[in-house]
Amino acid sequence: MTTIIEQVKMFESGESCDEYAESFIEEAKKINKKFYYFTEFCNKSSKRGGALSGIPVTVKDCICVKGVQSRASSAILNTYTPVFNASSVQKTIDEGATITGKTVQDEFGFGGFSVNVGIGFEIPRNPHDEDRVCGGSSGGSAGITAITKHAHFSIGESTGGSIVTPAAFCGVVGICPTYGIVSRYGLMDYANSLDKIGPFTKTVLEGAVALKVLAGHDTKDSTSTNKKIPDYTKITEKSIKGWKIGYIDPEGVEEPIRENLHESIQEIKESGAKTEKITLPISDEYAIPAYYTIALCEASTNLAKYCGLRYGAQEEPKGFFDEYFSNIRSKNFGKEAKRRILLGTFARQAGFRDAFYIKALQARTHIINEYKKIFSEVDAIITPTMPILPPLIKKASELTPLQSYLSDKLTVGPNIAGLPHMSLPTGKHKSLPIGLMITADHYEEEKMMTLGVELEEKNG
């Protein structure tokens, strides 16, 4: 299979970009019949040439593509067609890529298994076992990346683990950079202080190529970084020799996954780096409650705008405006979206606001400080991405909300702290992939991906 880098070279020597895009779309449509990764197909490109010239790119449904229905996989946004491209999409197009489709997700990102798709959407299937979940919330992005025979990448998004979780379950590379590295302009917000955009690819180096395109300052997103973005593609020239890697060996992890972690630890040692077992007690205890409090408070304000008035699902206006809004929202939001709106609204009300929202913000600061302290001692941290193998769709759908929230245990820490993290496939149990998560300090994407390349090589 050709990588993005190889395919761009082939286009330079005469292969047709347009035919390649057509061929990808044809394949994707076929895959979609069985796996339900897409909410929309399109064929959007401008000039060719550039780092991604001719490469077919798919985009998570919550990221706006001009002129293409974009709904965050929610019925409340049915018919909504953005009038502008998200900055990440625009940058991709500017580098010569073809935008080929929108990928399904948990509605507005509200889930870890992609079983919480909106009303009228299909649950995407695991590329290695159709009865199992893809992981979420960027499930469609990870799934298509795993199956396609074409050089391709998908633009995903993570709030609490929505890139690494489906990457682990589908057996692909998912990179979530430091908060602020990739512009959020054009991303339909879940939680503004937590949302991050990043790529899904088959290999780490392809991820580096994609991230290099996506990253950088954007005047349209005031939270985007002013830092100079290094040339991530230089990671293959670097080595981890002499580094110190911290690992977390958490309890309650399924045995094949725990074994896989220890194989990775061994491989790191063989590459000339030291390893050390670490713990993050504050993060362990407070990351999940703090994350859900902040994320849901923010989400409940972000989703207020969806009321059937300016765009999306609409009906003949009847009664007072508040009755109309309630009617549209009741009919079109899925169950999990409603739950999160209610929880978030509750947690920021007078009397609870200080106890929940303000406390959660304080907890976030403590969690960041705990990571900062660890990163003064280690170069990167590894953990299993998920404590479990991809569950059956039926089983995942039956989990209580709390059980479901707890499965984010390992991924929420780096997300709430805004740290770069990635998942790469480091093994298999029977046919099911196992992912390893690497976390690095803020703006240390190069270190993170250097370790990724090293482990990728060991795993062939």
Partner 1 sequence: MGDSIETKIGLEVHVQINTKSKLFCGCTTEEGEPNNNTCETCMGMPGAKPVTNKKAIDSVIKICKALNCEISTPSFFSRKTYFYPDLAKNYQITQYETPLGKEGFLQVENTKIRIKRVHIEEDPAALEHAGGGTLIDYNRSGIPLAEIVTEPDIRSPEQARNFLKKLINILSYLNVIVPDTTIKADANISNSKNNFIRAEIKNVTGFKEIEKALLYETKRQQEEEVTKQETRRWDGTKTIVMRSKETEDDYGYIYDSDIPKMTFTQEYINKISSSIPKLSDERIRELTKIGVSQEDAKVITQDLFVSDAFEKIAQKSNPATAAKWFRKELLKRLNADEKQIKEVNIEALTEIIKMIHEKTITEHTGRELMTKIYDKNFSPIESIKKTGATMIKDTTTLKKMCEDAIEKNPKAAVDYKKGEEKALNAIVGAVMKETKGTAKPDEVKRIIEEMLTTL
Cβ distance 78 to 39 under 8 Å?
no
Q: Shortest gap between Cβ of 308 and partner 1 (angstroms)?
A: 11
Q: Torsions phi, psi of 115, nearest 5?
A: -95, -10
Q: Extract the runs of DSSP E, i.e. beta strands, from 216-356.
A: 244-247, 274-277
d(CA 166, CA 109): 12
- Choice between 118 and 135, CB closer to partner 1: 118
Q: Shortest gap between Cβ of 59 and partner 1 (angstroms)?
A: 12
Q: Shortest gap between Cβ of 255 and partner 1 (angstroms)?
A: 40
Q: Which residues pair with 196 in a beta bridge?
A: 158
Cβ distance 80 to 70 under 8 Å?
yes
- Choice between 82 and 435, CB closer to partner 1: 82
Active-site choice (73, 87, 162, 407): 162
CB atoms within 10 A of CB 431: 11
Q: Shortest gap between Cβ of 193 and partner 1 (angstroms)?
A: 4
3-state SS assignment for residue 279: coil
| Tokens encoding 441 | 């300090």
**Which residues fall within 8 angstroms of residue 24, CB to CB, at 6 or more apart?**
56, 98, 100, 148, 150, 152
- Choice between 211 and 299, CB closer to partner 1: 299
- Choice between 80 and 200, CB closer to partner 1: 80
Q: Shortest gap between Cβ of 84 and partner 1 (angstroms)?
A: 6
Q: Report the candidate in 335, 332, 353, 343 with the shortest Cα–Cα distance to residue 295.
A: 343
d(CA 321, CA 2): 55
Q: Which residues pair with 422 in a beta bridge?
A: 175, 438
**HSE-up of 209 (CA within 13 Å, CB side)?**
25
CB atoms within 10 A of CB 110: 32
Cβ distance 125 to 82 under 8 Å?
no
Q: Which residues pair with 215 in a beta bridge?
A: 182
Catalytic residue at 158?
A: no
Q: Shortest gap between Cβ of 178 and partner 1 (angstroms)?
A: 15
Q: Shortest gap between Cβ of 186 and partner 1 (angstroms)?
A: 4
- Choice between 192 and 314, CB closer to partner 1: 192
- Choice between 191 and 282, CB closer to partner 1: 191
- Choice between 80 and 371, CB closer to partner 1: 80
- Choice between 350 and 402, CB closer to partner 1: 350
d(CA 372, CA 452): 21
Active-site choice (44, 60, 102, 212): 60
How far, CA to CA in Å, does 338 sit from each of 90, 116, 445?
32, 11, 35
Polymer length of the chain: 460
Strands 56-60 and 153-158: parallel
Active-site choice (53, 137, 154, 300): 137
Q: Shortest gap between Cβ of 357 and partner 1 (angstroms)?
A: 6
Residues that bind partner 1 (CB under 8 A): 63-64, 70, 72, 77, 80, 82-84, 86, 184-189, 192-193, 219-223, 297-298, 300-301, 304-307, 309-311, 321-322, 325, 345, 348-351, 353, 357, 361
Catalytic residue at 196?
A: no
| Tokens encoding 370 | 């705990």
- Choice between 61 and 370, CB closer to partner 1: 61
Cα–chain center distance at 295: 15
Burial grade of 330 (CB within 10 A; 0-12, 13-18, 19 or more): exposed
* Secondary element (H or E) of residue 200: strand 196-201
Q: Shortest gap between Cβ of 304 and partner 1 (angstroms)?
A: 4
Strands 244-247 and 274-277: parallel
Catalytic residue at 53?
A: no
- Active centre residues (catalytic): 60, 137, 162
